[in-house]
Structure 1
Amino acid sequence: MNKHLALLAVATAFSAGAWANPEAAMNKAGCMACHSKDKRLVGPSFKDIAAKYKGQDVVARLMDKVRKGGSGVFGPVPMAPNTPAQINDADLKAAVEFILKS
């Protein structure tokens, strides 16, 4: 691979969120206004989410839930939908994986 192609590959990976910082992405997207790592705020804590889905392959399902929003799983307070303009797919996937490891 020549230098130009290698640089293009690195730039593409970076812009796609390959080196995503899930906590920074969640802060930027506004997730932390309602969620925290270990205590319930408006929505459930990451710890509670991780416990509920422990051992399950739910990354795609939770990404869809974040995109569409909803309520009822952790109580009646609805979560607003989060568009790709708020958090891109790569950052959202990294965020969900981070939450599930909490």
Structure 2
Amino acid sequence: MKLKYLALCLPLVVGSGLATADTDFAAVNDALKKNACLACHAIDSKVVGPAYKEIAAASKDDAAKAEVLKTHIKSGSSGVWGPIPMPPNPNISDDDLTLIVDWLMAGAPH
């Protein structure tokens, strides 16, 4: 009997996780748009800078990369992904910065 209830609840649990992921990406996408990140980056393909999926793949399994990414986004960088430098984004809010970096560290799901 308990197994029957568990089986009935499983789709609800899985579905609620998917709804959260969609909401998180919507917030990330808003932050990316608000901070003009999409002018140089796309999720799945290189534009001027690397694709977010490429950044996420290079950063996974390395918690220290989160702080490096925050520094590169806020202060800029050069020579990391090629000859074109990443300009600094000093006006990005700490909340947006954390949201974007957490999303990258999670694999840039969308």
Q: Unpaired segments of 5 or more residues in structure 1?
A: 1-19
Q: Is the 8 A contact 2:42 2:51 kept in 1?
A: yes
Q: TM-score, normalised by structure 2?
A: 0.69
Query: Which gives a bigger RCO, structure 1 or 2 (Cα 8 Å, sep 6+)?
Result: 1
Residue number among 68, 81, 100 corresponding to 1:61 in the alignment:
68
Q: What RMSD, in angstroms, separates the aligned Cα atoms of the two structures?
A: 1.4
Superposed CA deviations along residues 7-36 of structure 1, whole A, max 9, x for unmatched, are: xxxxxxxxxxxxx91210111100000000
Distance 2:102 2:51 in 1: 14
Between the two proteins, the alignment pairs up a number of residues equal to 81
Matched, 1:77 2:84: yes
Residue number among 37, 40, 46 corresponding to 1:34 in the alignment:
40
Q: Unpaired segments of 5 or more residues in structure 2?
A: 1-25
Structure with the largest fraction of helix:
2
Aligned residue for 1:59, secondary structure, equals helix
The percentage of aligned residue pairs carrying the same residue is: 40
* 4+ aligned runs moved over 2 Å, structure 1: none
